[in-house]
Amino acid sequence: MDFNAAVGRLAGLDYQGLHQEDFLLTWDKSEDELRAVLAVADALRLLRENNRSCRIFDSGLAISLFRDNSTRTRFSFASACNLLGLEVQDFDEGSSQVAHGETVRETATMISFMADVIGIRDDMFIGKGHTYMTEFADHLTESHEAGVLEQRPTLVSLQSDIDHPTQSMADLLHLVHEFGGLENLRGKKLAMTWAYSPSYGKPLSVPQGMIGLMTRFGMDVVLAHPPGYDLMVGPREVAARAAAASGGSFIVTNSMAEAFAGADVVCAKSWAPFAAMEERAELHSAGDTAAIRALERWLLAQNADFRDWTTTDELMGTTKDGSARYLHPLPADITGVSCAAGEVDAAVFDRYRVPLYKQAGNKPYAIAAMIFLQKVADPMATLQQLWSSAGPRWQQ
């Protein structure tokens, strides 16, 4: 890929809406803005791979606030921030210090006096994560407007209950690379399907993020899951509208086979039923541990009814030319490897390991591009300047 060509893709796009704004939901962003993220991600990769420093910060802090475990996203965020010159400082909430109203406002302000960027993961409870992030964002704006914060740090969602934008944008980057351009996604069939896992409560935000983003560029997106494993209504409506607007399509089915048939791209992974997760969030708020355990047992038992929702070689054979792209956000539950029965057969996973790892390798660049576009007023000029004038990232 040529650097000038990558930067040139920014020309004519209207992406000023990203500047000094948060990145919480891909569907709050325009097509041009999403294209800009893709272009900047490629440009930053070329800078780094050609040993140019991408530092736009001489000093500065990025705060990470993880309310759920993470390896991939944590390291991707740390990598992206380091690439741009920011030092990551983890905020470890401990107990329930930052639970409600008053203290969210205070915490948001107290950790932000010298913060440039804040990354938040809060994906555990339906109805909570995205709400927390928007509250957090509002308090930052208030504190900035009141003169408490010299500048307003920007937020990047590292996964909420609704969307997982750094994952879906990394996946989109991957597909663009695989198919040789965003335009080539038009008319491609993508199957986003549920798959069996022996764990019961995986977030809905991955499939929601996928259907909400991949419908934007003319793909034919099929969402498949067993009865009862519905996603939240909002993202489904988003996907339907986006498909209509982009000339793609969005359908929901209860058949994994139907989704896979002739698909160009498949992504099969477990998630929890929305209704059960909503109930769980309420039980959690009520502190009813016994009821939560009962619900979890019930969910695991229900999951087991759909153990045949798994990615097999046979099923892969029904995809386009028997060779669809296989996506997974990782880690996958691999039958016979990480569990007795899971989302995918080892034979399939092994065959796709290299592209899966490449898929994951886009996330640091996707995050760095979001931050870059949030912070830099003239991204084209700054990228060109980094290419022509920045020192080496390291002295080889």
Per DSSP bridges, beta strands 61-66 and 87-90 are parallel
Name which of residues 90 to 109 contact a second copy (CB under 8 A): 91, 94, 97, 101-103, 106-107, 109
Name which of residues 350 to 389 contact a second copy (CB under 8 A): 354, 357-358, 360-361, 363-364, 375-377, 382, 385
Q: What is the x/- site pattern for a second copy, positions 150-179, by CB under 8 A?
A: x-----------------------------
Residues 6+ apart with CB under 8 A from 66: 74, 90, 120, 121, 158
Number of chain positions touching a second copy (CB under 8 A): 69
CA pair distance 40, 365, nearest whole angstrom: 8
Strand partners, 220: 189, 249
Residue type, 223: L
- Which of 169, 334, 370, 373 lies at the binding interface for a second copy (CB under 8 A)? 334
Residues 6+ apart with CB under 8 A from 304: 196
| Beta carbon nearer to a second copy, 60 or 203 | 60
| Beta carbon nearer to a second copy, 67 or 188 | 67
Q: Assess 269 for contact with a second copy (CB under 8 A).
A: no
- Phi/psi-derived region of residue 355, left when phi > 0, alpha when psi is between -120 and 50, beta in every other case: alpha
CA pair distance 291, 175, nearest whole angstrom: 42
In the complex, minimum distance from the CB of residue 232 to a second copy, in angstroms, rounded to a whole number: 28
Q: Identify the sign of the CA torsion 74, 80, 81, 83.
A: positive
In the complex, minimum distance from the CB of residue 302 to a second copy, in angstroms, rounded to a whole number: 26
CA pair distance 141, 152, nearest whole angstrom: 7
- The two three-digit tokens of residue 355, written as one number: 């592209």
Q: Assess 307 for contact with a second copy (CB under 8 A).
A: no
| Beta carbon nearer to a second copy, 132 or 217 | 132
In the complex, minimum distance from the CB of residue 396 to a second copy, in angstroms, rounded to a whole number: 6
Q: Assess 4 for contact with a second copy (CB under 8 A).
A: no
Q: Assess 197 for contact with a second copy (CB under 8 A).
A: no
- Which of 5, 8, 14, 87 lies at the binding interface for a second copy (CB under 8 A)? 87
- Phi/psi-derived region of residue 86, left when phi > 0, alpha when psi is between -120 and 50, beta in every other case: beta
CA pair distance 255, 259, nearest whole angstrom: 7
In the complex, minimum distance from the CB of residue 55 to a second copy, in angstroms, rounded to a whole number: 6
In the complex, minimum distance from the CB of residue 189 to a second copy, in angstroms, rounded to a whole number: 26
Q: Assess 110 for contact with a second copy (CB under 8 A).
A: yes
Residues 6+ apart with CB under 8 A from 344: 195, 268, 310, 311, 328, 332, 333, 334, 335
CA pair distance 244, 47, nearest whole angstrom: 37
In the complex, minimum distance from the CB of residue 354 to a second copy, in angstroms, rounded to a whole number: 5
Q: Cis check for the bond before 329: say yes or no (omega within 30 of 0).
A: no
- Which of 8, 187, 228, 331 lies at the binding interface for a second copy (CB under 8 A)? 331
Stretch of 113-121, 226-234, 241-249, 305-313 lying at the interface with a second copy (CB under 8 A): 113-121
Q: Assess 396 for contact with a second copy (CB under 8 A).
A: yes
- Phi/psi-derived region of residue 35, left when phi > 0, alpha when psi is between -120 and 50, beta in every other case: alpha
Q: Assess 116 for contact with a second copy (CB under 8 A).
A: yes
CA pair distance 18, 115, nearest whole angstrom: 18
Name which of residues 26 to 85 contact a second copy (CB under 8 A): 48-49, 53-61, 63, 69, 71-72, 75-76, 78-79, 82-83, 85
In the complex, minimum distance from the CB of residue 240 to a second copy, in angstroms, rounded to a whole number: 34
Question: Which positions lie near a second copy, rule CB under 8 A?
Answer: 48-49, 53-61, 63, 69, 71-72, 75-76, 78-79, 82-83, 85, 87-89, 91, 94, 97, 101-103, 106-107, 109-111, 113-116, 143, 146-150, 330-331, 334, 337-338, 354, 357-358, 360-361, 363-364, 375-377, 382, 385, 391-396
